[in-house]
Amino acid sequence: MPSQGVKLYVQDKHVVLDNGILQVTISNPDGIVTAIQYNGIDNLLAVENQEADRGYWDLVWNLAGSKGTKGKFDKIEATSFEVIVENEDQVELSFSRKWDPSLEGKIVPLNIEKRFIMLRNSSGFYTYAIYEHLKEWPAFNLDRFRVAFKLRKDKFHYMAMADNRQRYMPLPDDRLPYRSQTLAYPEAVLLVDPMETEFRGEVDDKYQYSCENKDNRVHGWICNDPPVGFWQITPSDEFRSAGPHKQNLTSHVGPTTLAVMHSVHYSGEDLILKFGSNEAWKKVFGPIFIYLNSLSDAGGNPLSLWEDAKQQMRIEVQDWPYTFPASQDFPQSHQRGNVSGRLLVKDRYVCKDDIPANGAYMGLAPPGDVGSWQSEVKGYQFWTRADEDGYFCINNIWTGDYNLYAWVPGFIGDYKYDVIITPSAGYDIYMGDLVYEPPRDGPTLWEIGVPDRTAAEFYVPDPSPMFVNRLYVNHPDRFRQYGLWERYADLYPDRDLVYTVGVSDYTKDWFFAQVTRKNDDDTYQGTTWQIKFKLDCTANETETYKLRLALATAHAAELQVRVNDDGKSPLFSSGQIGKDNTIARHGIHGLYRLYRVGIPGNLLLEGDNTIFLTQPKSTSPFQGIMYDYIRLEGPASSNGNKKA
């Protein structure tokens, strides 16, 4: 029996897409999804909400020169509706809002077009958007933009975002003031009298469900009666800002599901899009796929819908870039190029031969400085991982100018190929063998940690019994528990951390974050950590030793380094760095920073030595640093390769 084609019904205030599997109702001309009918449920979206608060694109913006990351919230309501494609196989709709000078200061100075696509036989629909700023328009700042869907709280109670990150969730009513206690910030609450007693005593915080872009392919919710899954599938990161390791929100209590295209979370003001006067810009975000599934077997396990969603995600990834979007601004596969090659690592203190860059993250991003990809916010980025022999292939790249960037697990620093690369439609560029020489001045005398841009290998404590999310008990992501910053003072009540090279174990003895200490009067004080080590012989007084400090994140912190006398002026100060807010938001990394501190040989002693790492000032519990890796290098003329 032939399947029903896609039908479009245009009404005064709504348009309806229907392919016989589902119906999607969108407000006309606003372009907000007001209803999704599927599997006998008249509306999967939050029927208790106003129509404009169900399925929408939104953004936060501000005037040029504004400080901070707060701004004007805009739930993007279009003013014009147009049918782009209408046939039995596909319907594509456009909802657009044009900007003109009479709107200055009232709405963000962008032309915004939201598009929705439904295909024959597809159990879902697609959405994407095109943002455009003309060069004669005003300067402004753009803080975040995303797609949000709010589901029915009486039906969707189970959330899934990974095989080991899924659970039944509290209800939104459990967060009401008389049922919960607000903790250190409004997003985090302690559930003291939830409607479901099983959640009593748990912490609920949306930041506990953040995810790196590279791992954020599918997430969503399951309804048990009838068994239905609502899934958001993002098959590509090319339109997301700040690279594959940028962390973004996914789903949280509401039940809410998000497709975050850009945000400043885990990075701060460094990631605000700042548009100057005379700056033209245009970018396509998406498409993403909203996928719905159900059980054919009435007695089946609803949780199997997650497995089906993952399989659909793999299909969508394989089909990328899609061939069906009708916008000329979205290039198809034949309009894109490919770049391939091989990356080797040259570190003569590790191996006399070049080392294949096994598992290196390889990416094309707009031209910039070394490592600039992690704060690049306006262009497209294309990433892959090298194989065990260092070979890589980056496919389906938009035409344009790029630098090739990389970082290699196990080695500090960033690689950049200085020559601009310009992929052409339908052509392959082979780069040949490329060689990355990581920062290095001499042999390793000792090291702490693993160069992987996170603090995950260090000691992460159990949370206070008062502040537990049961999902993360005995979980690899135990760092996502609430309030771990306060555990430092519990573990070190009278003195700060002291680490002895060759004796201490960084997985047990190096606290995952150098945070502040709370005093009895609710003020905070800075902390000083010590690294004690021995030199087997007298240091060469005419040589300079190098201390490498790779930071996984920093928030409102200053890092000072002293050697063998914590009372002297610091040998090094970072100045105030970072507004990542990673510590509060349960991340294990933010923006990567790498410092080299020269230590004159005459400061080092034969035998016992101490390096002091100090945060001198403190104003909040979230101020601090997460270290990725620390290494002391001897002069080039010395020997040694001592692991900590």
Do 354 and 265 share a structural domain?
A: no
- Extract the tokens encoding 572: 């090094």
Do 484 and 378 share a structural domain?
A: no
Do 56 and 161 share a structural domain?
A: yes
Asked if residue 641 is part of any domain, the answer here is: no
**Mean pLDDT across 251-258:** 96
**Mean pLDDT across 429-453:** 97
The three-state secondary structure class of 471 is helix
Do 121 and 63 share a structural domain?
A: yes
Residue 642 has pLDDT above 50, yes or no: no
Nearest 5°: the CA angle 136, 139, 144 is 125
Domain boundary among 262, 295, 319: 319
pLDDT of 639: 57
CATH number for the domain harbouring residue 134 = 2.70.98.10
pLDDT of 518: 83
Distance CA 122, CA 180 (A): 41
Do 251 and 269 share a structural domain?
A: yes
pLDDT of 644: 43
Do 449 and 407 share a structural domain?
A: no
Asked if residue 639 is part of any domain, the answer here is: no
The amino acid present at 313, given as its one-letter code, is: M
Asked if residue 53 is part of any domain, the answer here is: yes
CB 167 within 8 A of CB 158: yes
For residue range 484-526, what is the model confidence (pLDDT) as tens digits? 999 999 999 989 999 999 999 999 999 999 999 888 888 889 9
pLDDT of 566: 64
Do 252 and 105 share a structural domain?
A: yes
Q: What is the residue whose two structure tokens read 């990433």?
A: 383
Q: What is the DSSP letter of 319?
A: H
For residue range 18-77, what is the model confidence (pLDDT) as tens digits? 999 999 999 999 999 999 999 999 999 999 999 999 999 999 999 998 887 778 999 999
CB 56 within 8 A of CB 76: yes
For residue range 158-210, what is the model confidence (pLDDT) as tens digits? 999 999 999 999 999 999 999 999 999 999 999 999 998 999 999 999 999 99
pLDDT of 637: 67
The amino acid present at 402, given as its one-letter code, is: Y
Do 464 and 419 share a structural domain?
A: no
Asked if residue 471 is part of any domain, the answer here is: yes
**Mean pLDDT across 438-460:** 97
Residue 537 has pLDDT above 90, yes or no: no
CATH number for the domain harbouring residue 427 = 2.60.40.10
Full 3-state SS string of 237-257 = CCCCCCCCCCEECCEECCCEE
Rounded to the nearest integer, the mean pLDDT of the chain is 95
Report residue 228's pLDDT band, with 50, 70 and 90 as the boundaries: very high
Do 474 and 390 share a structural domain?
A: no
Residue 364 has pLDDT above 50, yes or no: yes
Domain boundary among 266, 295, 319: 319
Domain boundary among 263, 296, 319: 319
Do 115 and 15 share a structural domain?
A: yes
CATH number for the domain harbouring residue 504 = 2.60.120.260
Residue 568 has pLDDT above 90, yes or no: no
Do 200 and 58 share a structural domain?
A: yes
pLDDT of 216: 96
Asked if residue 642 is part of any domain, the answer here is: no
- Extract the tokens encoding 4: 């029903």
Asked if residue 644 is part of any domain, the answer here is: no
For residue range 262-274, what is the model confidence (pLDDT) as tens digits? 999 999 998 999 9
Asked if residue 643 is part of any domain, the answer here is: no
Residue 641 has pLDDT above 70, yes or no: no
Q: Calculate the alpha carbon distances from 216 to 248, 273, 348, 396, 480 in Å.
A: 9, 22, 37, 19, 16
Percent of the chain whose pLDDT exceeds 70: 98
Q: Which domain holds residue 449?
A: 444-633
pLDDT of 638: 61
Domain count, the chain: 3
